[in-house]
């Protein structure tokens, strides 16, 4: 399994697109179920905030996994995958780990160092755990990201 992070944030998408992508907590389980029902996606965590919507996923193939995730996100945003593609960023394997650590520490936030994203990441992980969409790879990733985020906030000036 390979790690794939696909998302849109305030850096890549206009507010209107983020609003269409955003999912209320009541929709998380449905979206997570949709993601892991895709042929190339075996695990998924969904982060949905006012400034970002991201999927962290264990995939069996890069292109297939990317297509599957984009299709589910486009369905959520009620647009075509092609229209959404211009607003998405993609990180694979080590780059995806680096990205989730930057998110957890607040380095990828609109206000650098803000701590709210750490709680949102924790909530996303709990939703995925409850929905049984996080397996071994994402459990390890999320637990480590939460440790990194806590440590960065406790030991640095951010």
Question: Edge-to-edge strand order for the sheet containing 89-92?
Answer: 41-48, 52-59, 2-9, 89-92
Q: Residue 58: how many CB atoms within 10 A of its CB?
A: 23
Cα 56 versus chain centre, distance: 4
- Catalytic residue from among 50, 83, 110, 112: 50
Residue 12, burial from CB neighbour count under 10 angstroms (0-12, 13-18, 19+) = middle
CA distances, 147 to each of 34, 82, 136, 153, 155 (Å):
29, 36, 17, 10, 12
Cα 136 versus chain centre, distance: 16
Is 79 marked active-site? no
Residues forming the active site? 50
């Amino acid at each position: 399994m390979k790690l794939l992070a696909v998302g849109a944030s305030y850096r890549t998408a206009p507010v209107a697109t983020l609003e269409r992508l955003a999912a209320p907590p009541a929709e998380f389980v449905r979206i997570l179920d949709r993601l892991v029902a895709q042929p190339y996606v075996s695990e998924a965590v969904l982060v949905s905030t006012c400034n970002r919507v991201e999927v962290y996923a264990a995939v069996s193939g890069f292109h297939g996994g990317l297509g599957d995730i984009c299709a589910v996100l486009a369905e959520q945003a009620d647009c075509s995958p092609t229209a959404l593609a211009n607003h998405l960023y993609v990180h694979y394997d080590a780059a995806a780990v680096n990205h989730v650590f930057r998110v957890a520490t607040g380095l990828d936030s609109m206000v650098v160092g803000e701590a709210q994203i750490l709680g949102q990441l924790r909530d996303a992980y709990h939703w995925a755990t409850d929905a049984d969409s996080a397996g071994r790879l994402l459990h390890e990733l999320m637990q480590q990201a939460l440790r990194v985020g806590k440590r960065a906030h406790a030991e640095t000036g951010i």
